């Protein structure tokens, strides 16, 4: 492997290379140098800097230094690991009637995950103000649950269309948000980064990290959620469907951050509402009417078959509504598709994935020539805490 040079930029990049490596487990300095193709002196410099910052620490466990010269055989090499108590990352999925909250450490280990009800007395506020108040209350409550350990950031999963910069919500019907820029609000209210992302995209972030060891690089997450009809705007179906897409190990957002927006092939070409052929009235009784439910499941899964045939993913995760009717869905799937399908409990997938999305931003390798805005998350992790 080519040995990398050590400009000022490279010193910063080396630190993130080491941090990303340590997210996968402990390593000695010699192992780090070998795996990353860095000079031992380079690793020593970067590790010492990271030790001083508190981002990494020496592990209590020692490892046999297999790369030692014969005269040094048996000498123990000190393991280096991420300091998981350096900070916490919060993930939130903000649904129409409640939110699901998760707290993760730096390695992505889930420390807390549960449902949280919204506080009342916000009904008479405009949608954007109501959303901001709910968000601030939820985040403050979660910060208190971190028991004094610094919060490094908050990732938020929302249904609908979210800009790639994570600050602008183009369309989120569950909170009645249209073309809302939250950048100034987030900057004024919170001392740490807060990033929005589409809920299905957050779900794939969870499995993108967890599936790294299996080299799972191409997969789909189909998220289907049913909402209480009394909370849905009049004329809007109480059912939301989204796809998270991963190609070659990377989330695919599309040219306008709209990749994964589902529209059934059975829909009328000129229809402007809904994602399925089923009427709003029929969707209100899905739990009671098995025939209507079967019809809707078939429509969803027939569409999925075409998508899978075109994209050829390794795995298809089905979450949300599907887990409630797993047996019915299984009976509809053909054998080839069933081999790729994994049913998952989506209660915490989006919130944990939102936190993982934020971790990925914090740990990403900075690029030469990036603007200050593009490197904000790296700077926050590495420089604001060193």
Q: What is the DSSP letter of 150?
A: P
How many CB atoms sit inside 10 A of residue 15's CB? 24
Let me know if residue 1 belongs to a domain: no
The answer to whether residues 112 and 102 touch, using CB atoms and an 8 Å cutoff, is yes
Let me know if residue 372 belongs to a domain: yes
Check whether residue 300 and residue 196 sit in a common domain. Answer: no
Query: What is the CATH classification number for the domain harbouring 60?
Result: 1.10.10.10
Parts of the chain with a pLDDT under 50? 1-6, 64-66, 68, 70-71, 371-372, 374, 385-386
Let me know if residue 309 belongs to a domain: yes
Report the alpha-carbon distance of residue 27 to residue 61 in Å, rounded: 10
Q: Which residues contact 298 (CB under 8 A, 6 or more apart)?
A: 332
Query: By residue range, what is the domain housing residue 241?
Result: 206-346
Check whether residue 218 and residue 335 sit in a common domain. Answer: yes
Per the listing, tokens 């090499």 go with 77
Cα-flanking dihedrals φ and ψ of residue 61, to 5°?
-85, 135
Let me know if residue 50 belongs to a domain: yes
Let me know if residue 308 belongs to a domain: yes
- As for how many domains the chain has, the answer is 3
Query: pLDDT by residue (tens digit) across 282-320?
Result: 777 777 788 888 888 999 999 999 999 999 999 999 998
The answer to whether residues 92 and 340 touch, using CB atoms and an 8 Å cutoff, is no
Nearest CA to 226 out of 296, 295, 179 is that of: 296
Query: What is the CATH classification number for the domain harbouring 118?
Result: 3.30.420.40
Query: pLDDT by residue (tens digit) across 69-100?
Result: 544 555 578 999 999 999 999 999 999 888 99
Helix (H) or strand (E) holding 228: none
Let me know if residue 3 belongs to a domain: no
């Amino acid at each position: 492997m080519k040995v990398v040079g050590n400009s000022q930029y490279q010193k910063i990049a080396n630190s993130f290379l080491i941090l990303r490596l340590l997210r996968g487990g402990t390593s000695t300095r010699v192992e780090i140098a070998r795996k990353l193709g860095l000079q031992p002196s380079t690793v020593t410099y970067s590790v010492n800097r990271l030790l001083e910052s508190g981002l990494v620490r020496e592990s209590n466990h020692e490892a046999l230094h297999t790369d030692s010269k014969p005269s040094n055989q048996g000498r123990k090499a000190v393991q280096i690991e991420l300091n998981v108590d350096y900070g916490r990352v919060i993930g939130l999925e903000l649904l129409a009637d409640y939110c699901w909250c998760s707290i993760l450490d730096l390695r992505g280990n889930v420390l807390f995950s549960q449902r949280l009800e919204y506080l009342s007395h916000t009904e008479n506020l405009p949608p954007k103000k109501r959303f901001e108040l709910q968000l601030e209350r939820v985040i403050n409550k979660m910060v208190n649950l971190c028991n004094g350990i610094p919060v490094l950031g908050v990732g938020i999963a929302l249904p609908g269309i979210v800009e790639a910069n994570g600050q602008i919500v183009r369309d989120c019907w569950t909170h009645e948000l249209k073309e809302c820029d939250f950048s100034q609000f987030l900057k004024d209210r919170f001392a740490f980064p807060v990033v929005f992302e589409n809920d299905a995209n957050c779900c794939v972030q969870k499995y993108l990290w967890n599936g790294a060891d299996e080299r799972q690089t191409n997969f789909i997450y189909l998220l289907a959620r049913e909402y209480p009809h009394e909370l849905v705007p009049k004329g809007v179906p109480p059912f939301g469907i989204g796809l998270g897409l991963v190609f070659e190990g990377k989330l695919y957002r599309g040219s306008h951050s709209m990749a994964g927006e589902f529209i059934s092939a059975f829909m009328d070409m000129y229809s402007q509402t809904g994602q399925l052929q089923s009427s709003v009235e029929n969707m209100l009784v899905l739990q009671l009417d098995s025939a209507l439910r079967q019809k809707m499941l078939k429509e969803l899964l027939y569409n999925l078959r075409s998508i899978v045939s075109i994209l050829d993913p390794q795995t298809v995760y089905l979450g949300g509504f599907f887990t409630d009717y797993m047996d019915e869905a299984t009976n509809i799937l053909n054998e080839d598709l069933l081999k790729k399908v994994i049913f998952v409990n989506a209660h915490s997938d989006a919130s944990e994935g939102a936190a993982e999305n934020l971790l990925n931003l914090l740990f990403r390798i900075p690029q030469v020539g990036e603007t200050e805005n593009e490197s904000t998350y790296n700077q926050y992790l590495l420089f604001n805490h060193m």
